[in-house]
Amino acid sequence: MTKPGEFYPRNRDIHPVSLSPGYKSSVTRSPRLALVSLQSTISEQTGPVFGADDIDAGDNDLLTNYAAPGQSPIGERIILHGHVLDENARPVPNTLVEIWQANAGGRYRHKKDTYLAPIDPNFGGCGRTLTDENGYFFFRTVKPGAYPWRNHANNWRPAHIHVSIFGSGFAQRLITQCYFEGDPLIPLCPIVQTIPDQNAIEQLVARLDLNATIPLDSVAYKFDIILRGRRSTLFENRPEGN
C-alpha cells in the first residue's frame, strides 16, 4: 500500500484563537506557549477506520432513536444533510460523523444540565452515521433551541448542533458546531466570535435547503463540512532532497 500523503498545513487564521477572553472558560484552558509545528508522520497521516458493523442503521434518526414506540419528540422536524469534502473538493467517503444537541427547548439530556426547560422524554439528542461513497451524510432530528449559559450574565447560545468528524487521518480530526441561517444570536455569541474570520463563521451556518425538504414532513438544512486536503507525494523521497 502506498504511503498516504501529507495534509496541507492547517490554516490557523480561520480557526478560533485558543485564548479568547470573551469566552471565559478559555482563559485557564488555553496553552500559553506556542504550538510546536510538526511535519506530519505516519502517526498523523493515518487514523481510525469505521465500518457498518460499528453503528446501527437508525443511529442517524434522532426522531426515533430515543423515542418510545409510536412517539416522537416535540419540536421542528428537520433534516440536516451535506457532504464531507476535503480542501481539494474530493469527497471523504466512509467517515464517521457524530452529532449531539439540545432538545427543542434548549435542554440537554445530560446529568449536569440544570436549565429549567424540561427534558423531552422522547429525545436523546445524539446521532451518528458514516458518509457514503460520495461523502454524503444525513440526519433527521428536531431543531435545537437556544439556551442560556454562565459566561457573561446574559449570554445565550444560538441554536446549534455539535458535529464531530474523523476523516481519513488523525490530523483531520475536527469538532465544530453547526448554526442555522438567520439566527440573530449568532453574531452575539462569544463562542462563535472566537473565530476571527467572518467567512469562516459563515461556513458554520447551515443553509435552509428547500430542495431537500420533505413536503408536509420536515424542513431541511444543508451543512457541508470541509476537512484538510492531502497533497500528492511529489518528490519527497528523491535522494537529492534528503
Partner 1 sequence: MVQALKYLSETASQTAGPYVHIGLSPGAAGFDIYRQELGHDICGPNAKGERIRVTGVIIDGTGAAIKDAMLEVWQANADGVYAHPGGGGPVEDGFRGWGRVITDFETGEWTFETVKPGKTAGSAGAPQAPHLNLWIVARGINVGLNTRMYFADEAEANTIDPVLNLIEWESRRATLIADRDVLGDLPTYRFDIRLQGGIETVFFDV
Which one, 214 or 236, has the nearer CB to partner 1?
Answer: 236
Q: In one letter, which amino acid is 84?
A: V
Q: How far is CA 45 from the centre of its chain?
A: 21
Task: Output the CA–CA distances (angstroms, integers) from residue 71 to 29, 97, 121, in the order listed.
Answer: 41, 26, 9
Dig out the grid coordinates for 78 from the structure. 428537520
Q: Does the protein bind partner 1 through residue 47 (CB under 8 A)? A: yes
Question: Among 88, 134, 152, 214, which residue interacts with partner 1 (rule: CB under 8 A)?
Answer: 88
Task: Kindly name the residue from 147, 179, 228, 230 that is annotated as catalytic.
Answer: 147
* Residues in contact with 175: Cβ distance below 8 Å, sequence separation at least 6, in sequence order: 162, 163, 164, 165
Burial environment of residue 168 by CB neighbours within 10 A (0 to 12, 13 to 18, 19 or more): buried
Q: Does 37 bind partner 1 (CB under 8 A)?
A: yes
Has 8 been annotated as catalytic?
no
Instruction: Choose between 48 and 187: whose C-beta lies nearer to partner 1.
Output: 48
Out of 160, 179, 228, 230, pick the active-site residue.
Answer: 160
Task: Pick the catalytic residue from 23, 83, 107, 108.
Answer: 108
Binding positions for partner 1, 138-177, rule CB under 8 A: 162, 164, 168-171, 173-177
Q: Is-catalytic flag, 162? A: yes
Which range in 24-32, 71-79, 133-141, 212-220 contacts partner 1 by CB under 8 A? 24-32
Contact status: 71 vs partner 1 (CB under 8 A)? no
H/E element holding 42? helix 42-45
Q: Supply the residues annotated as catalytic.
A: 108, 147, 157, 160, 162
